[in-house]
A and B are shown apart, each in its own frame.
Chain A
Amino acid sequence: MTSQNTKFNEHEVLHELKHYLPAQAPLKDFIHHNTLHAFQYLKFFDAIRTASEMLGYRVSLSFKEYRDLYENKRIKSEILDRTIIQRKGAENLNEWREKVLHKEYHSPGLPRIGSLKSNWKRHYRIDLESLVHPILFRILCSYMDQGISIWTFPVKEKNFLSSIREMERNSFSSIFRTKRAKELLLKSTCEIPDLLAILVGDESLYKQYLFDQQFAHQGWSGMVSAVEDFPGTLLDTKRISTHSLIVLELLLEIDALDFQFKGKWEPLSGKIIEQPADLFAPSEHTEISDVMTIWQEAFEWSYYDEVLAGIKLDQSQNKPDESIKNKNFQAMFCIDDREISFRRHIEELEPDCETFGTPGFFGVEFFYQPEDGKFYTKVCPAPVTPKYLIKEFGNSQKREKDIHFSKTSHSLHSGWLISQTLGFWSAFKLFINIFRPSMGPASASSFKHMDKFSQLTIENKNTDDIENDLQIGFTVAEMANRVEGVLKSIGLVKDFAPIVYVIAHGSSSVNNPHYAAYDCGACSGRAGSVNSRVLSFMANHPEVREILKVSGIMIPDETQFIGGLHDTTRDEIVFYDENSLSTQNLESHSHNEVIFDKALDSNAKERSRRFVSIDTHESAEKIHERIRVRSVSLFEPRPELNHATNALCIIGRRDLTKNIFLDRRSFLNSFDYQVDPEGQFLVNILKAAAPVCGGINLEYFFSRVDNQKLGAGTKLPHNVMGLFGVANGIDGDLRPGLPSQMIEVHDPVRLLMIVEHFPDVVLKTIQIIPATYEWFINEWVHLVVVNPETNELSYFKDGKFINYQPLNKNIESISDLTSIIESHKENIPVYILK
């Protein structure tokens, strides 16, 4: 951010370096976030341009891809023209249209990262990376390993550098090849500036050298940095820091140079003839970057405009307040974009129902400890640190074992026996797994998160009931507080149906190291089943209801809340505590179950249009069976498509978009402006929705546009490292980001957030929390407000709302969705549902 300083401030540089490194946690805690979070202080297009020049990322589609989209009418010419006029003025329209559509541009020169360190190769003819990286990665992986190796790192109690020091001191062998580096480690304090003085020499180059060095393996550096900041993310905690990683790497570099040149070499600065380009220099607009900006905006607005036109048309036709008074049931879902189609099918099958969306931890934040679990699992959004613990007991599930993962097969003598006995069993199992896939102990299943018939310690009757500083369960007042919060934020404060379902979601997959990314993001990459049960318990609690009455929420006595879990991969649903239902409710519940099952079949059919291995024309039941088989197939790298194609986040009443076909592209957060005229609840919704939905959206965005550097590349060659990351082969860097199989159908467009409220209220609301405001003012997320009374649309730009008139005047109405689903493999345009 600052230009080159001659003074090297270690603390500052390390802090800045850590900020730029990928922030992805270990695999089991995979949580989506903005990949380029370090650049979020800039406006979106400035940020991505800077990131690209500095670190060599690709930050948009290629011009060819944009031009193909234009050919296919996915980018509309009137939108393109409008974008050019907005950016370049009407008088330059023709000139810029020509540039955008036809001009050939050469790819830019080399990125700035690495330019300093590349001098080793240029002037010394030494390939430092291939001498240092393999052993460095190996030591890091062995130290942090969570359970792959049989013989674990011998010194565990100390921090990273001390462990290595201890081993080096008491060993006949060494990780170093020469004396000096070893002695530096054993006899000096290994200050980074001292080591850099040996290697680089010129203090003004230190900072850039460290950036070059760490960005040559940003995956490992990012993992170390993440573990340093959140040590609890590794169950077997490790004390490692970016500082110690840099020290070891510098020592290994000195060692490699000493070895290669027999100790006779000079620091790098002596040989550098020209100063390398400043890594942090501001990046300038160029014609190429302008063309890219125009294309990207035109691409985004080609879709947004359809959606907004749909909303406007639909709202003007719709007479408000035709809502049903006597509902059969109500159901809450996660805001997740995978639930939108499920909700649509339920609503279609049972018109007398109402569905809601709210982040899938349902406003109850706690740690969860399953029976026999040795650790606590956080089941709420990542930034929240809960003070509560909920424990499971009475679990009757057996954890199955699979001997193929047993480490005994890797030892000599038992391996001898196992390969000759179990080996033949493997052949059989492989055969079965290929021709008749089924669920096994190796699969990750959301239903394993909590046993259906177990009990939970939800209510706290004695506030001294504390375990490791966590209160076990919630008191009645705390429960009432949370139930009120959820109900008011989604606008469900009256007209309760007899049954209110609280449906969480999770996923199942096999052979999938990224399984946590498929679960509920609002539950820190876990299934939300416990949360759904906890909220239902709270809302059913008579004392809680008494308190709610005081706040004006009258829940009738016959109304019962019931938890459930939707498996988004298999399209299956499980309900919890059904025996607590009254006889009458039990009866209607069994009627509702049929509806849910049918909706799941239809949902499976709708999803199948993206899967080549399934013929979407078949009956819904048949397809659903295939979807289930697919979820447990070892050879299926796409058990589901997760958040791919996400583009929208709608915060408002269901009626706002109930009649609009948004495919599976939108997060839906229920919100009623009438319940929250001042925007108190809206603040909290936006505080969560911007980073969660925006984070998911941008992670997909960047993994899609640069799958090699910002994504994980294809998952087919991935090798699991230490149970916390994946790499290609055995000597590779860790690959953060999403694998190509998750993002290939994704359209990289930023999230458009549509809020149903009055612009002045929203404007006030978004400015309350600066971190939230940054998302909007810097355009990492688009924001449009629908005025609930006038249906006027306004777009947020440069700190104020501007009226927006959609260019699309006609959005087609359809009544038969099935034929559309059966005939489209790609994204489906917006329709109005009759």
Chain B
Amino acid sequence: MQHLLPLFILLPALGFIISLFLPEKKETLISRTAFFTVGLHLLGAIVFFIYWVIGDRDPLNLKDIVLYQSSDYEFYIDFYFDKITATYLLVGAFLTFLVTTYSRYYLHREQGYKRFFNTILFFYIGYNIAVISGNFETLFVGWEILGISSFLLIAFYRERYLPVKNAVKVFSIYRIGDVGLILATWASHHLWHENITFSKLNNYELVHEHLTSHSMIGVFISLMILVTALAKSAQLPFSSWLPRAMEGPTPSSAIFYGSLSVHLGVFLLLRTYPFWEQQFSIRILIGVFGLFTAIITTGIARVQSSVKSQIAYASIAQIGLIFIEVAAGYENLALFHFAGNAFLRTYQLLVSPSVVSYLIREQFYNFSPRQRSVENSFPKKIQYTLYILCLKEWNLDSIMYRFFWNPFKRLGKGLDFLTVKRLLIFFIPAYLISFFCYYHRDLIPSHVEQYLPITFSLIGLIMVVKAFTERKKAILSWVLIIMNHFWVALAISFNEKYKIDESVLYLSGIIVAGVLGYFLLYRLRKLESGIDLDQFHGYAYKRPTIAFIFLACCLGVSGFPITPTFIGEDLIFTHIHEDQTFLALCVTLSTIIDGIAIIRIYARIFLGPHVKSIYEMAYRSS
């Protein structure tokens, strides 16, 4: 029976690929493709589920394809099915089915009708990979697809300023979550010395044994999982992204941010529950985060005067409660709560435009000027203080900037002296010398050699920080990003015995995508005379093809699972030892910022209001 599991991914993938090739004007064809893909998927899921329920109801596990194998490393795709999968699969299929049907008419004549259904199907692939995944690596594939499809849907109205700005914002928070997952994967390689499957985590003794001998690394993995779950489920301190993600058409907001996407953090916790179940402190921590989120965001929800942000914060508060339920071990309750919350919020968002006629009528017949809420009984000073705090969302939105991005920006400013020329003058000889040294490692004193990986990864980090903060030259930024990967590869190759083909695997995708991307930017600069990164340019408006290919390049360079670089990235991390926290930190940071810098280039150049058609664009504030 488990052999059927890949079908749940292949079907939406097939639908997605077909939908890519349909002509833009054929609305019926496009929506039918989505309708049948998701409909068939729903039907399949129901039948599969019934079979499974009346059968033995044992969890199913399928080790599918081995993508890469070396003596001590194996990268494979694994699928898993149990009641958690079943719940998420069914709720997801049901809601996506309803929303695609809904959108078929709702989006009629909308520019980007095809783009919308493409992205929905793309999202659906990612969602299914994530919920059926049987190990961290597979989960990560789904996770990445979800991140990028989220970005694309938030920025669906790509010619307006705010959607694009918010899409980049949400993406950067997702990126933090992604890296939590990378680090969790890295640490678990070292804990288990294999790519552990979720199925094996159910083995209580096995987990217990490993955790007793490596308690620190166990805590580390759990913490990373927690960070990822917090970011994805918009818990504190990340909560402010969720209402800001409501920029696309209402049905997409309803399904992504009202229901499916935002509950995936819960999924991750449920999925890894057998692992952290035995770490009491972690359970307390998860519960505390859930509790704080529930209380704070309820307050924020109560002061919201726009309907979508009210639903968003109310939903976050419920997810906070689900976190508590998961931490307390009430798995069934959590699943039930997830489904109910997902349905409720989807529906509430879909009918949110009706709120005007309904509530105005209510107000007309039931208005009382002296209506009070609970808070009015608080002492005045407390009341006003809390109100203002809730109105400002407890400054959650600016915290990320103040404590995370701004320090990097300041650092980047210190690197203003770097120009393309100076960089190349430094990069080529330095890299050649290092490369030479790699083949003559015996020439280097060992106490120098042990510092080399860190030094190289630091150089990479500096490059990527510079790329992230560059305001003028897009091409410089792009080149820096690519150089970063070279330094990382070099750093790792000095770290231990390392086969050159692994580097080739890692760099192959980057080189191809990087060169192509360079060429596209170069061409665009010729066509449009000058491309800086100081503002959004919106060139996708006039040059959609270049924009589309460049997006593919961005995905390639950022290690998206379309090139071998993706496996290489995982490989790189396996070569970082468990005691090399600093090196891991450097590489992780550069991976986070690298991804954001790439999306930033794409957004600044291709998205936003088209600078040369100001009269056709909306105001910035709208």
Contact = CB atoms under 8 A, between A and B. Distances in A.
Interface string A167-180: 10011111100000
Contact of B339 (A424, A721, A722): A424
Given A148-B310, A733-B619, A419 B305 contact: no
A729 B321 contact: no
Contact of A633 (B105, B157, B247, B317): B105
A442 B354 contact: yes
Given A430-B343, A443-B357, A511 B351 contact: yes
B306 A720 contact: yes
B381 A175 contact: no
A67 B47 CA distance: 56
A139 B365 contact: no
B246 A729 contact: yes
B503 interface: no
A4 B390 CA distance: 43
Given A419-B344, A426-B346, A427-B94, A718 B353 contact: yes
A294 B336 CA distance: 66
Interface string A398-437: 0100101100011110011011111110110111001100
A442 B388 contact: no
B356 A430 contact: no
A716 interface: yes
Contact of A175 (B249, B308, B345, B392): B392
A154 B384 contact: yes
A218 interface: yes
A362 B396 CA distance: 55
B620 interface: yes
Nearest to A164: B388
A411 B615 contact: no
B341 A58 contact: no
Contact of A728 (B163, B311, B373): B163
Nearest to B307: A720
B24 to A, nearest CB: 16
Given A129-B620, A635-B106, A719 B352 contact: yes
Interface in B112-133: none
Contacts of A419: 318, 337, 340-341, 344-345
B473 interface: no
A108 B616 CA distance: 11
A64 to B, nearest CB: 12
Interface stretch (A368-376, A579-587, A681-689): A368-376
A27 interface: yes
Contact of B385 (A171, A717, A727): A171
B417 interface: no
A732 B161 CA distance: 10
B105 A721 contact: no
Interface stretch (B271-279, B293-301, B433-441, B484-492): B293-301
Contact of B110 (A135, A714, A735): A714
B391 interface: yes
Interface stretch (B73-81, B96-104, B198-206, B223-231): B96-104
B347 interface: yes
Interface residues of B, number: 109
A423 B307 CA distance: 18
Nearest to A638: B108
A20 to B, nearest CB: 15
A172 B385 CA distance: 5
B163 A729 contact: yes
Contacts of B314: 409-411, 415
Contact of B351 (A108, A412, A442): A442
A526 to B, nearest CB: 12
B613 A430 contact: no
Interface string B306-347: 111111111001100100000000000000110111111111
A598 B246 CA distance: 45
Given A415-B314, A513-B356, A170 B384 contact: yes
Nearest to B374: A151
B311 A717 contact: no
Contact-residue bracket for chain A? 35 or more
B20 to A, nearest CB: 22
Nearest to B159: A708
B291 to A, nearest CB: 10
A412 B294 contact: yes
A21 interface: no
Contact of A149 (B103, B302, B620): B302
B350 A405 contact: no
B388 A147 contact: no
Interface in A415-465: 415-416, 418-424, 426-427, 429-431, 434-435, 441-444, 448
A475 interface: no
A145 interface: yes
B497 interface: no
A727 B244 CA distance: 13
Nearest to B344: A423
Nearest to A219: B622
Nearest to B615: A58
Contacts of A184: none
A217 interface: yes
B363 interface: yes
A235 B363 contact: yes
B210 interface: no
A732 B619 CA distance: 10
A637 B165 CA distance: 27
B156 to A, nearest CB: 8
Contacts of B162: 728-729, 731-732
B243 interface: yes
A741 B360 CA distance: 23
Given A373-B364, A709-B618, A720-B356, A634 B306 contact: no
B284 interface: no
B383 interface: yes
Contacts of B165: 130
Interface string A704-720: 00101100011111111
B392 A135 contact: yes
B160 interface: yes
Contact of B383 (A142, A154, A637): A154
B614 A236 contact: no
Q: Which has the most chain A C-beta neighbours within 10 Å: B94, B102, B397?
A: B102
Contacts of A732: 162, 621-622
A731 to B, nearest CB: 6
Contacts of A135: 392
Contact of A411 (B298, B614, B621): B298
Nearest to B397: A134
A145 B358 contact: no
Given A399-B365, A405-B359, A730-B309, A716 B249 contact: yes
28 contacts: A145-B305, A148-B307, A148-B310, A150-B303, A150-B373, A171-B381, A172-B381, A217-B621, A235-B364, A411-B314, A412-B317, A416-B318, A421-B340, A423-B340, A427-B347, A430-B98, A434-B102, A443-B354, A634-B102, A715-B353, A719-B308, A723-B356, A728-B162, A729-B244, A730-B243, A733-B622, A735-B622, A741-B109
Given A513-B353, A728-B247, 17 more contacts: A134-B397, A151-B373, A151-B375, A154-B375, A172-B381, A236-B363, A236-B369, A412-B298, A415-B318, A422-B344, A427-B94, A431-B98, A510-B354, A612-B108, A708-B622, A717-B249, A730-B309
Closest 3 CB pairs of A and B: A423-B340, A426-B347, A410-B314
Interface of A: 27-28, 52, 56-58, 107-108, 110-111, 129-130, 133-135, 138-139, 141-142, 145-154, 156, 167, 170-175, 216-219, 235-236, 372-375, 399, 402, 404-405, 409-412, 415-416, 418-424, 426-427, 429-431, 434-435, 441-444, 448, 510-513, 515, 612-613, 633-638, 706, 708-709, 713-723, 727-733, 735, 741, 744
Interface of B: 94-95, 98, 101-110, 156-157, 160, 162-163, 165-166, 243-244, 246-251, 253, 294-295, 298-299, 301-314, 317-318, 321, 336-337, 339-348, 350-367, 369, 371, 373-376, 380-381, 383-385, 387-392, 397, 612-622
